[in-house]
Amino acid sequence: MRDGFIKIAAATPDLHAADCAYNTSEIVKLAKEAAAKGAKLITFPELCLTGYTCGDLFLQETLLEGALDALNTVCRETAELAAVIVVGLPLRVRGKLYNVAAVVNAGDVLAFVPKTHLPNYSEFYEQRHFVSADTLSGGMESVDIKNADGETVCVPLVTDTIFQCDE
């Protein structure tokens, strides 16, 4: 931090639809490059772990599990970076599918932030697959996921949260 400011990077990886392993390798590569240049917050596009254009594949268990495995790889491969990383993925919670941003730091998922305003016009038909964050009871829930070490951890699913670093 310099004069109260941090360096932020918005990264756009080359993505392949439904190829979580390839997408993850591109994300990790760019995250490491951005962190090496001093970025403390690194953001990636929505649904970057799976690709945005997966269509009905978003309803397939194989893709949803692949996205969580990819998230664990991002956590593991970026654990040593002194940066917060935000990646997008589809996440099923209690039978509902959300388009979420996973906030990652030091190898852990701090929270999932679901998208609220889903477009449903022209070539965008997100409401076909995803539900809005407005469906969350009270704006906050939690979801149990397996972390990179194979342990089950409880991660908050939040809509109105400020992430703060005490350093």
Over residues 24-64, the pLDDT tens digits come to: 999 999 999 999 999 999 999 999 999 999 999 999 999 99
**Exposure string over 133-152, b if 16+ CB within 10 A, otherwise e:** beebeeeebebebebbeeee
Residue 166 maps to a domain: no
**Tell me, what CATH number does 38's domain have?**
3.60.110.10
Q: H or E stretch including 93?
A: strand 84-93
Residue 91 maps to a domain: yes
Q: Which tens digit of pLDDT belongs to each residue from 96-155?
A: 999 999 999 999 999 999 999 999 988 888 999 999 999 887 656 899 999 888 899 999
pLDDT at 34: 98
* Helices assigned H by DSSP within the chain: 20-36, 61-77
- Residue-number span of the structural domain to which 66 is assigned: 7-158
Mean pLDDT of the chain: 94
Residues 6+ apart with CB under 8 A from 69: 20
Residue 57 tokens, joined: 């594949």
pLDDT at 140: 66
Query: Percent of the chain beyond pLDDT 70?
Result: 96
Report the number of distinct structural domains present in the chain.
Answer: 1
pLDDT at 166: 75
CB atoms within 10 A of CB 23: 27
CA distance 106 to 81: 7
